Structures are given as C-alpha cells and as structure tokens.
Structure 1
Amino acid sequence: MSQKLNLRWWGAMGLCVALSAVAQEQPGDFQSRVPLSLSGEGPWYRLELALAVQLRASQTDLRDIRVFNAAGEPQAYALARQQAQATEQRSLSAVKWFPLYNAAQAGDTPATVRVQSGTNGTLVEVQPEARPQAGQAVLRGWLLDASAIKAPLQQLILDWSSEHDGFQRFSIEASDDLQHWQAWGEGQVARLSFADERVEQHEVALPGQSARYLRLLWKTPQTAPALTSAQLQSSTTSSQPSPLVWSQPLVGATAKPGEYSWQLPMGLNVERVRIELKQANSLAPARLYGRRESNQPWQPLGNGLLYRLTQNGQDVQQNELQLPGQVVQQLRLVVDERGGGLGAEAPPLAFAVRGAQLVFLARGTGPYTLALGNPGVSAANLPLSTLIPDYSPQRLKELGQARIEDAGQLAAPAGVAVATPVAPGRDWKKVGLWAVLLLGVLALGGMAFSLLRKPQAGS
C-alpha cells in the first residue's frame, strides 16, 4: 500500500510540474513576433521601440511585450521611457589678471585697491589705494577679470614663472561688484622637479557658480608667484526633450461641417498632432478635444491657428498643435469656418508620442525574438536598477544594441496607423490548465488525508 501511495504521489507531482511548464508563456502565445539582431557588447541590450512596434501591443502600458531566446525561454527585461537629454557645453577663456600688493607689515589683510573699469565692466586698471614705499611692497595675490564670461565657472587653470617651484596654496573669493566677496574655498597648484622627472598641476576646481571677478590670495604672501597665464573653464547645461516618434496618418470622420474626429488604436500620451492641409491658402482657427472612452465627455487639449498660405511664391504652413501629453484614444477638432474651413472630408491626422526603450538581459543562445500582442498576460518587466545592478543614464548609453531585422513584418496597413488592438479577454487555455493543476493538488491532498486516517496494521 505504501509503495502504491508513493507512486501516486510522484505521479501527481510530475503532473503538477508538467502543467506548470505548459502554462509558461511561449512565443506562439503572442500575435506578433519578429527576430532581433544584436550588436555591441552584452549581456544587456537595448532596443528602441518604434511607434509601429508599440502599437502592436495589446496593452497600453506594453505589459504584453516579451523577448525569447532560441529555446523559447523568456528573457528578463525592463522598459524605459526616454527621458529628457541633458547636454553640457564647456568653453575655455583666457582672462586678464592684476596683481594685488600689500605693505609688508600688513600681514594677511587683503589689499585695498582702486579699480578702473570700462563701460562693459571689464577691468582696465587695478592699483593699490596707498602705494607701498619702494622695497616694502609684497605681492599678496591676484585679481582675475571674469566679467566677459556669463556661464557658471567650473575650473581655474594657472601658469606661473618657473622660479617659483613647489606647492602654491591660496584662497579663492568671488565678487560681482569688487566690494562684497564670497568665499569659494581654497586652491592648490604645484610644480615639482625631482631628478629628471617633472610633475605639474595647473587646474583648480571651482564650485560651478557665476561671478564677475575672482580674488586669489596666497596663504604666505612671500611665496606668491608671478602669473604668466590665467584661464577659466565655464559650462552651460541645457535640457533637450527626448525625440518624438510620429504615427502614420489616420483617416478621420466628419460629424458635421467644421467638426472632425479620429480614433486612435489605443490610449496614448499624445504630445503633438499634425493635420494635413491639402488645399493651398487654407486658414482655420481650431480647437482640439480628447477623451479615453466614447461615454466620457470631451476635454479641451489645445487650440491654435492652422494655415497653409502662399507668400512670395513659397508655401508657408503651420499644421501642428501642441498637447499636454495626457492619455487619449479619441480626438475631435472643431474649426471656425469663417476662415474657410478644411473641407468636407476629415483631413488625415498624425500624432506623436515620446519614444520608449526595451532593455533585456540576453540568456541562453540566439537568435532572440521580440513578441507582443497578448491581452491576457500580466506585466513581467523589472526596474532598470534591478536588471542592471550598476545602472546609470551613462551606463544605459553604453549597452549593446538590438534591432528588428525586418521592420516590414510590423508595418501598418496602408491608410491606417495600426490595426485596432484586441480587447482584453480571458485566456481559457490557461484557465483550464490551472484548473487541472488545482484538481491534481486536491487529489494529492485527499490521498494524504486518507493515508493519515487509515489505522496502522497490528495497532
């Protein structure tokens, strides 16, 4: 009896394992599949998801997108909406420098100077208010004129006469009016010689703030060198939004004169629309509305003047409207027909959204396949910081690249952006498999309970 029970136990367990394996997602469970080609260094690869690819998904948030290897095993992946791109531009500027003298008995007291400047604020002359007598003047430091630099200062680069070797330590102060000074810390440069070796350090980091003037005061005035060159490195940082990806033109419908509507394939964060103006000399003040579902009220998204005019033999047009980026699936354009309108038929409309990337960890052997289009699956993406332990925006740029080998397999039919996605429904195949799995577990529990209740032989 015990041996038969063991056989039933292992048979039930084998059934559970087999059903679990069958229930795992397979490439054939997805409506669209396309091979990927890899380049660069792995094991992580990033794939730019074109809009045509995104619209093949059955879920707005792309939860039904997957990557499989040659054995049909799903790969760990993360989704990354493209962020704004920050660019930094650095420039190096030579600046004027003026000596600051003190009387020998003045000690560490900063020199008091009389300044003559030009109309643009550039220094012309810097002289001490009370000129020390001959032989009593001590070089206390240097005044740098940075008034021509409008960007934040990042680095100071100095050069000095060769007779002053060793370390040069000084304090750094900044001012915009030569009256009020703010401490910017301390700096150190060096020029060392040993045997035939020479070590030089000319750069000093600055706090990345703007200032018209810098004052360098040596810790020990007797060692202050004569400068031969002074340069300041500045930088400007600008944030550029990530590029937009545009759809193919959508065919619209006319509800009544001057009112047109379009149905998007799914709810999308639309940021811009482009309306095709077919007729020359068209002028149309317009308002754009949007909504998620047909039973919801229309919400205003933006307004503007659409036109296509011929001036001096050239075609000039403004056919785009900016949107706030909220999720919409239906758009309606209401045109003031006093400007002539846009015609009886709805003009084609293209929409733009921000790009997205898929990053996956290549496991197993290729070729790898991108699959999407399954309304019944749940989200399986990981955070980027989990997928890539040492993740950083710079690290993301250095990853290998994946590309869709044949983009034509995902191309939209002529005249429309994409086919309407399948509405979410119940995956009866998976439900049936899990039901059988549950029945197997219940049968296994029943056998164990029966074994516990049966009296032992000879008891």
Structure 2
Amino acid sequence: MSINKHPGRAWLLLVGLLCSLVGQAAERPGDYAWQLPLALTGEGPWYRLELPMAVHLAADFADLRDLRVFNGEGEPLAYALVRSPAEETLHEHEVRWFALHAEADDLTDSPGLRVQRSARGTLIELVETAPSAQASARRGWLLDASAVEDPLVRLELDWSSDHEGFQRLRIEASDDLRTWRSWGQAQLARLSFADERIERRQIDLPGRQARYLRLMWESPREAPPLTVARLFSRPAGSLSLPLVWSEPLPADRAADDSFRWKLPRTLPVQRIRLELGQDNRLVPVRVSGRGGGQGRWRTLGSGLLYRLPEPEGEQRQDELALPGVAVQQLRLQVDARGGGLGAAPFLRIGVRATHLVFLGRGSPPYRLALGNADAVSAALPLETLIPGFRPQRLEQLASAEVVAGAKVQAMSPPGSAPDWKRWGLWVVLLLGVAVLGLMAASLLRRAPSH
C-alpha cells in the first residue's frame, strides 16, 4: 500500500496507533498514593460501598475527586458517588397522645384501647379512660401516628414545666396495637443551671414506618404530663445516609482554657462525640468552628453533656448535633461552673456518609485508590451508571466493604523511582504526534493543485 495513493488509510492507521498509546497511558493504581482492598458480597454487577472516615481524611480533596476503583487487571471501573442532600427535607406532624396507666412493669395489653374485630376487618379505637385505683401510675404515653405514611426519623416532646431532671424511657412501635417491636431507649432532660434552662426534648427514631408508638418511662417510673408531641418524617423517596465516625482525636488546650482540634481537612461535621472519662460529669459546653486559617470563630451549637450514675443504669449524653457547616478547626468552650473536664478530652467527629457505587468488571481483587493531587473527578451521575435508578434501590444493591482489619496504606513510597514505562509511553505518543504532523505536511505539499 502506498501512503501517497491512499492518504485516508494512512491517517486511520496513525489515529488508531495514537488511540492505542493513549489507552496504554490511561490511569492505573500506581498513579494514586493510597489503597484499600475490597471484599464483595452478593451478585453484581453493581456494588455499593459505604466509605469509611479514613477515606475522607486520606483523600487529597474534600469532594473525593481523586477517588478511583481498580480491578485485578489494574483497570479503572465506572463509579458514582451518592451523598445525602445538603439540607434534609422533613415533614412535621402533630399527633394525638393517650396516657397508659399500670402498676406492672410489663404491659401486655395497653389500657385505654378498644379493639373490635368483625367480618369487615379490625377496628382499632383509641379511648382515654380514667385510671383505676389499682392502676394509678401513669407509666407512659401512646402516640397515634396512623396518619403518617412516611418513615419516622424524629420525635419531639414537651411536658409541664414543674417536672425537671433526667428521664429515661423505652420506645416501642406497632401497626396493630398487639405486637410491639423495640425501637431502643432514649433520654430526655430539663435542667436549670446558672440562670439558664438546658433541655433535651428530641429523640432520634430509626427511620422506619409505624402506625403507633408506645413510650414507657423507666426512670422515673411515672411519666410527666405531656403538652406537645410532634413526629418528623422523611419523604419515602428521599435519600438519607447514616453518619460515619472518626477515630478519637486529641485536643490542644488554648491559652483561654478552651480545647481545640485541627482536622486533616475541611469537613461538614454533623455531630461530635466527646469522651467523658469519669462519672459524675455535668458539663455545659459551646462549640465553634472555622476554616483552616485564622478567621473568626462561628458558633455551631451548645448543650449539656453529662455522665451520671444511678441505681437503674448510667445517664449519659456525650453527643452534640451540629449544623453540618464545613470546618477544619473546632473549639470547645466549657462552663467551669459545672466542674470542667479536667484533662484534654478526645473527640470523635461524625459526617454524613458517602456511598460509592461501582460497576464490577474484570477479576478481583478490587481496590479503592485515592490520593492524587492532579486527579479530576471521574464520577458519573448515578442515573447514568444505573439506568432507571430509584433511591429505594440503593439498599438492594450487592455490597462491598473494606477488608476487615485493612488500613489505608501507601501504594508506593513517597519519592519512589519514576515510572519509566509510563514516561516511555508518553514519549512514543509525542513522537507519534510529531510524525503525524510531518506526514500531513508532506501530503499537503504533494497534493495536486486544481
């Protein structure tokens, strides 16, 4: 074949050669400073991985643009990043409540309820009856959530002002008022401290549906009179991911006796957890944050942290919710009138989890790679990676997780020898471009004039 007679074929051959060289020079694991081995569970082809906090802290960018997944052949895989919306949409519901009176510890049948069965089905009627002399203690409250169709994520209560102190209760859920399932325990508090009133009136719920909630007081044994009961639900089609927590971070003590932490990078902190080392702690605190520089501190939240023993179990509140503002420095100011914290405490930070969904291809082992200051995001929209995707499908995907005990490890030591194979490929690529330019110029000179 003559290049002069068939210039089009020559161009195609050269373009094919260059594309092949570019493919060989594509990203590979050695371009990234860190790696984590992955284990797969279930049938793909898509796999979902909840990124641990170590990944957020080791990445070069807060938006995880330098994150990749490679297969056993060292090929990059298509992936998407799934995040909760910056502002979660919740719906508020006022609900009816009914007192539950009993003396026994175990309520196998709730007083004040009338259940009527007929051929047409079951009719449940809520009736608040006067307590009898034998069942004078108000042990709890029944909340009617039958009008709420979405998953329940939060409960807010208020009670008469003359009931102060700590309250511990258990939460149970039911759809028929016969069979109850546990939704855990909760603590409420109302304290007067240094001319201030400190309250804890909100209870986090597990994000599941239920028609009725039963709140049973354990300490004290009698429930206070409720004045407000509100439920908050999340729209069923919306996406909400759990929190992931850091390892304990040591504090530095500042000249003003505040405690400070500098995070490895800027993160939208949703919650903090303080390690209260000893019993009998009652600590009013204020938390502020700022970026990585020396700008002004911004107040993020305040509250009462405590760890107090009691005969029926420890009263503990060691977490504080924050608004999710991106910060790199945190400051904790402690009101010394509560006794202080003593030694510098350790702090854990919680951020909203990010899920990585990738399309499996090739053979294992699969590896998560990160740490490349020159990387640009290669993430696809989730609807592109999984055509027809719906939020409810996320939990149905096969799962991937970091191999047990694995830690973020360097893929190649800093300052290692240059990748001569990669440089050789780029040199050949540049030479190919030069040859292509020379051939184009030669063909133009020899082209017949018209």
What is the TM-score of this pair, normalised by structure 2? 0.58
What is the distance in 2 between the residues matched to 1:316 and 1:121? 32
Distance 1:313 1:77, change over 3 A: closer
Answer whether contact 1:53 1:410 (CA < 8 A) is retained: no
The one-letter amino acid paired with 1:355 is A
Answer whether contact 2:37 2:406 (CA < 8 A) is retained: no
| Residue of structure 2 in register with 1:210 after alignment | none
| Residue of structure 1 in register with 2:271 after alignment | 272
Distance 1:281 1:451, change over 3 A: same
What is the distance in 2 between the residues matched to 1:281 and 1:65? 45
What is the distance in 1 between the residues matched to 2:363 and 2:47? 14
Answer whether contact 1:85 1:242 (CA < 8 A) is retained: no
User: How is 1:25-424 mapped onto 2 (pairs within 5 angstroms)?
Assistant: 25-81=27-83, 94=116, 151-152=146-147, 238-239=233-234, 242-311=241-310, 315-343=314-342, 345-404=343-402, 406-410=403-407
What is the distance in 2 between the residues matched to 1:260 and 1:432? 52
What is the distance in 2 between the residues matched to 1:357 and 1:451? 53
Answer whether contact 2:145 2:211 (CA < 8 A) is retained: no
Gapped regions of structure 2 (runs ≥ 5): 91-114, 130-142, 150-209, 213-231
What is the distance in 2 between the residues matched to 1:73 and 1:119? 62
Answer whether contact 1:275 1:320 (CA < 8 A) is retained: yes
The one-letter amino acid paired with 2:382 is L
1:165-212 alpha-carbon deviations (Å, 9 max, x no partner): xxxxxxxxxxxxxxxxxxxxxxxxxxxxxxxxxxxxxxxxxxxxxxxx
The one-letter amino acid paired with 1:391 is F
Distance 1:246 1:329, change over 3 A: same
Q: What SS does the aligned partner of 2:405 have?
A: helix
Higher mean alpha-carbon deviation, 48-57 vs 387-396, is at 48-57
Answer whether contact 1:267 1:329 (CA < 8 A) is retained: yes
Answer whether contact 1:258 1:342 (CA < 8 A) is retained: no
What is the distance in 2 between the residues matched to 1:28 and 1:119? 66
Distance 1:332 1:42, change over 3 A: same
What is the distance in 1 between the residues matched to 2:68 and 2:271? 28
Quote the offset at 1:394 in angstroms: 2.9
Distance 1:333 1:25, change over 3 A: same
1:191-243 alpha-carbon deviations (Å, 9 max, x no partner): xxxxxxxxxxxxxxxxxxxxxxxxxxxxxxxxxxxxxxxxxxx9579449643
1:369-423 alpha-carbon deviations (Å, 9 max, x no partner): 222222221111111111111312332222222222x3322269xxxxx9xxx9x
Quote the offset at 1:72 in angstroms: 1.6
Answer whether contact 1:56 1:410 (CA < 8 A) is retained: no
Quote the offset at 1:435 in angstroms: 8.7
Q: What SS does the aligned partner of 1:75 have?
A: coil
What is the distance in 1 between the residues matched to 2:50 and 2:73? 24
| Residue of structure 2 in register with 1:113 after alignment | none
Answer whether contact 2:35 2:408 (CA < 8 A) is retained: no
Larger Rg: 1
What is the distance in 2 between the residues matched to 1:10 and 1:76? 28
Answer whether contact 1:258 1:337 (CA < 8 A) is retained: no
Distance 1:305 1:37, change over 3 A: closer
Quote the offset at 1:14 in angstroms: 6.5
1:115-160 alpha-carbon deviations (Å, 9 max, x no partner): xxx99699xxxxxxxxxxxxxxxxxxxxxxxxx9872499xxxxxx
Quote the offset at 1:301 in angstroms: 0.5
The one-letter amino acid paired with 2:265 is M
The number of aligned residues is 316
Answer whether contact 2:269 2:322 (CA < 8 A) is retained: yes
Answer whether contact 1:285 1:339 (CA < 8 A) is retained: yes
Answer whether contact 1:258 1:336 (CA < 8 A) is retained: no
Distance 1:249 1:19, change over 3 A: same
Distance 1:97 1:317, change over 3 A: closer
1:44-92 alpha-carbon deviations (Å, 9 max, x no partner): 1112222233333222122222222222211111111257899xxxxxx
Residues 1:453 and 2:436 are matched in the alignment? no
Distance 1:277 1:373, change over 3 A: same
Identity of aligned residues (%): 48
Quote the offset at 1:360 in angstroms: 1.2
Give RMSD over aligned pairs. 4.5
Answer whether contact 2:261 2:330 (CA < 8 A) is retained: yes
Quote the offset at 1:94 in angstroms: 4.9
What is the distance in 2 between the residues matched to 1:315 and 1:85? 34
The one-letter amino acid paired with 1:363 is R
Gapped regions of structure 1 (runs ≥ 5): 87-92, 99-117, 123-147, 155-233, 413-417
Quote the offset at 1:253 in angstroms: 0.7
1:320-362 alpha-carbon deviations (Å, 9 max, x no partner): 211001111111112222333222x421111111222111111
